[in-house]
Amino acid sequence: MGRLLVPALVASTLTAVVAAQQSDYQVEVRLIQIEARVTDRQGNPIPDLSRADFVIKESGVVHDVATTEYMAGPERLMVRSETSPGTYESIPVVGPAPQPTWVYISTEVGPTDTQRAAAAIRQFVVSQMQPGFQVSLGGMPFTTDRVQLAAAVDSMIRNPYGSAQRGALVDPTYHQRLDAENDRAMASEFRQQEEGIVPLQGFVARPEKVESDAQFARPYVTEQRIDRQLPMYTDVTLDRYQMLVDQLSALPGKKVIVLLRPGLRVEADNAVAMQRLASSAVRHRVSFYTVDSRALEAIIPADELRIPLSIDRRRRPNVDLFRKFETLGISHEGLQALAQETGGRSVVDTNSLGEVFGRLVHDASGYYVLSYYPVDLTAAGRYRRIEVSVKRPGAKVQATRGYYEPRPTMPLSGGDKGVALRRALLAEIPRDLGVIGSANVFADEQKPVLILSAGVRAGDLQPRQESDDAALATTALVRIAPEDGSRTPIYYERRVTSRAAQKSWGKVRNDQTAVVSIADLVRLDPGAYTWRVVFRDERTGKIGGAEGRVQIPDLSQPAASSTLLITREAVLLGQGEQPDLLGAGSLSYAPQPGRVFRQGDIVHLRFDLYNAAGEELEAAAVGPRIALLRDGKTVEDVAFHGVAFPEREDGTVRFVGAIDTAHLPPGSYTVIAAPPARAESGSRRLVQIFQLLPKS
């Protein structure tokens, strides 16, 4: 796995276009602003430099300094005050700051770090805040009121997970990220023990390789691919910081985000999001001051690790000290990179979390803001190195090291597309593509399995012409999460391609039932879940999605039943081929994302009865009961076919059925299926609704 290395990005760029009133051309003026701190041999600021004292080089080329402004701290004045009749005394008073410094404090600590983090914040607001500091804590409005800020700290201590009025001290995704780290450590250990494949719930940043003859993709990952889940959580975090930077950009002057969190794991897969965040931050003079809220953390013994439900609890992994130190180092590097690339400071490996505020106070004054106009106005997204020097013997300069020039308008890169797709998975669903999805639940060895099928309408995709074919390419990203937040959400990615003969593309494009689809099997514990699928057209970058809710029942109970699967996809098994999870008899069934059919289609029905007793098993052999309704009325004269396949070894009965729609009028239909009356016991009637379109 590659480690992330991001060039320094500490510059503020202002671009304007000035158009002559009576001409047909435009002149671009790009003003670059940078910060520079100049000190003498003793480390004291040098405040009396002029524009002529500075030399600025951009990519080795000397540029004229346009403006120079020294940002001094608040002026300390001596005020003559009458302390008693006829007695006067000079009292030092701190005057107003020349301009405000905006300080946004973001707390995303672990549950055990709340007291330590709160104490550091309280010390800052009570005794370290300087005149001119505008402070926001937990998203509250900026204020200079120390009493109000101290009260906010007390409120956050009482409600560490946040309230309607105050932000949270604890990061709501903390436990999810910890689960992912522990899962990774255990999977690595189990691989070393040669225990085989670990079914891990997590994000797969690249598509699983699926055998060409496989019906479904199973999102189980091995240790070699397990690291791909972690960048998803970091990308979500960086996107949140990006939105915060965008909100702060409208404020004038220097802006600081103080970030207290238990490390930040940044991998090579996060390079695009990290570069975008750093570029945006430096353009708007936003610096990150980061601190690891874990302080001097001890390596956790193996006995303290929580074993996920997806792994045999009887197997205890040995603690891998090298891996633990490596993980800790990577999380430190993320905090340090974010601070370094935005001109801030980072504090790690210390119990003094308040140190970050001391550095902030020191850096809030005693620096110069320099500006210049670059002679090279090329806009290709290149990195430009900046060197600042002064004509003063013995002076030391710390300044902006460089910036990225603007990018020209061009199609989204693969990384940019990935960020947009992940944002769509977590924010409001775009509707540029028509996406449909369906969820069914069956049992595999008495364990519930979610069968999630989703597809994008083929006519919404732009094909690529290849000889006599129209080639379609999409990427799908899936999120499955428990409603109560008790488990880590499952994330996985699929890339799908499909071809249609060029001569038939027009017909496919206009067919509402033609979709490019995926189908996946995911093992889940009983409970309520939400699912969301977003698709991206690889040709146009357009995105669309669908979402839903599914209840996963406990299928180990007596006479439990699956959901009712309806599909047009049923194929005859080959000689000697055994039925899979959805197979029954001589047929294999595949889920379809939508419940839309055309006149003449066969609507295949498929459901199971589990843990049937002896008499129920005998009664079930008669076959399923099927009813069809339209507008609330039973449909007569419809051809039904149904049969049952009992399996006495485990008490499972596989039911299949079929409805011939050749003579049904178009409309909305409700199909009801159930085992025979004597085999119902505690099982429930299963209901699905489908739409029937005209044949042509």
Q: How far, in Å, CA of 167 to CA of 107, rounded?
A: 9
pLDDT confidence tier of residue 142, bands split at 50, 70 and 90:
very high
Q: Both tokens of residue 237?
A: 């975090």
pLDDT > 50? residue 225: no
pLDDT of residue 456: 92
pLDDT average, residue stretch 321-350: 72
pLDDT average, residue stretch 611-616: 78
101-198+221-355: what fold? Answer: Rossmann fold (3.40.50)
pLDDT of residue 226: 43
| 160 Cβ contact list (under 8 Å, min separation 6) | 111, 114, 168, 169, 170
In degrees rounded to 5, what are phi and psi of residue 278? -65, -40
- Residues 92/76, Cβ–Cβ less than 8 Å: yes
Beta strands in 391-489 (DSSP E): 396-399, 402-404, 435-444, 447-457, 464-466, 469-482
pLDDT average, residue stretch 309-314: 34
pTM for this one?
0.56
Better-predicted residue by pLDDT, 304 or 260: 260
Q: How far, in Å, CA of 35 to CA of 399, rounded?
A: 6
pLDDT of residue 196: 37
pLDDT of residue 327: 54
Q: Which of 118-122, 129-133, 280-284, 627-631 has the lowest mean pLDDT?
A: 280-284
pLDDT of residue 219: 36
195: helix, coil or strand?
coil
Q: Both tokens of residue 403?
A: 């910036």
322: helix, coil or strand?
helix
User: Which overall architecture, per CATH, does domain 557-696 show?
Assistant: Sandwich (2.60)
Helix (H) or strand (E) holding 188: helix 174-192
pLDDT of residue 525: 85
pLDDT average, residue stretch 238-253: 87
Helix (H) or strand (E) holding 19: strand 12-19
pLDDT of residue 298: 45
pLDDT confidence tier of residue 194, bands split at 50, 70 and 90:
very low
**Helix then strand then coil, % of the chain, to nearest 5:** 25, 35, 40
pLDDT of residue 100: 85
Better-predicted residue by pLDDT, 189 or 239: 239
Better-predicted residue by pLDDT, 270 or 372: 372
pLDDT confidence tier of residue 221, bands split at 50, 70 and 90:
very low
pLDDT by residue (tens digit) across 146-174? 999 999 898 888 888 766 556 677 776 66
Q: If you compute the radius of gyration of the chain from its CA atoms, what whole number of angstroms results?
A: 32
pLDDT of residue 376: 84
What percent of the chain shows pLDDT beyond 70?
A: 73
Better-predicted residue by pLDDT, 690 or 14: 690
pLDDT confidence tier of residue 518, bands split at 50, 70 and 90:
confident
Q: How far, in Å, CA of 389 to CA of 23, rounded?
A: 40
CA 283 to chain centre: 24
pLDDT average, residue stretch 265-291: 82
pLDDT > 60? residue 96: no
Q: Which of 268-272, 516-520, 586-590, 634-638 has the lowest mean pLDDT?
A: 268-272
pLDDT confidence tier of residue 688, bands split at 50, 70 and 90:
very high
Q: How far, in Å, CA of 442 to CA of 561, rounded?
A: 8
In degrees rounded to 5, what are phi and psi of residue 544? -145, 165
Tell me the C-alpha to C-alpha distance, in Å, between residue 433 and each of 462, 475, 504, 546, 595. 11, 12, 21, 10, 18
Side chain identity at 404, as an amino acid letter?
A: Y
Q: Which of 49-53, 170-174, 314-318, 380-384 has the lowest mean pLDDT?
A: 314-318
pLDDT of residue 510: 84
Q: Which of 24-28, 103-107, 544-548 has the lowest mean pLDDT?
A: 24-28
pLDDT > 80? residue 241: yes
- Residues 521/449, Cβ–Cβ less than 8 Å: yes
Give the chain's mean pLDDT.
76
Better-predicted residue by pLDDT, 462 or 296: 462
Nearest in space to 519 (alpha carbons), one of 466, 584, 567: 567
- Residues 450/604, Cβ–Cβ less than 8 Å: no
pLDDT confidence tier of residue 78, bands split at 50, 70 and 90:
very low
Side chain identity at 48, as an amino acid letter?
A: D
pLDDT confidence tier of residue 49, bands split at 50, 70 and 90:
very high
* HEC-encoded secondary structure of 214-252: CCCECCCCCHHHHHHHHHHHHHHHHHHHHHHHHHHCCCC
What percent of the chain shows pLDDT beyond 90?
A: 24
pLDDT by residue (tens digit) across 411-430? 444 455 666 777 788 778 88
pLDDT of residue 454: 92
pLDDT by residue (tens digit) across 364-381? 888 999 989 888 877 776
Beta strands in 72-160 (DSSP E): 76-84, 87-94, 101-107, 133-137
User: Which overall architecture, per CATH, does domain 411-556 show?
Assistant: Sandwich (2.60)
pLDDT confidence tier of residue 238, bands split at 50, 70 and 90:
confident
**DSSP of 541-560:** --EEEEEEEEEE--TTSTTE
Q: How far, in Å, CA of 154 to CA of 363, rounded?
A: 27
pLDDT of residue 28: 44
**402 strand-pairing partners:** 385
The Cβ-side half-sphere exposure at 685, using a 13 Å CA radius, reads 10
pLDDT of residue 208: 34
pLDDT > 70? residue 328: no
Side chain identity at 278, as an amino acid letter?
A: A
pLDDT confidence tier of residue 451, bands split at 50, 70 and 90:
very high
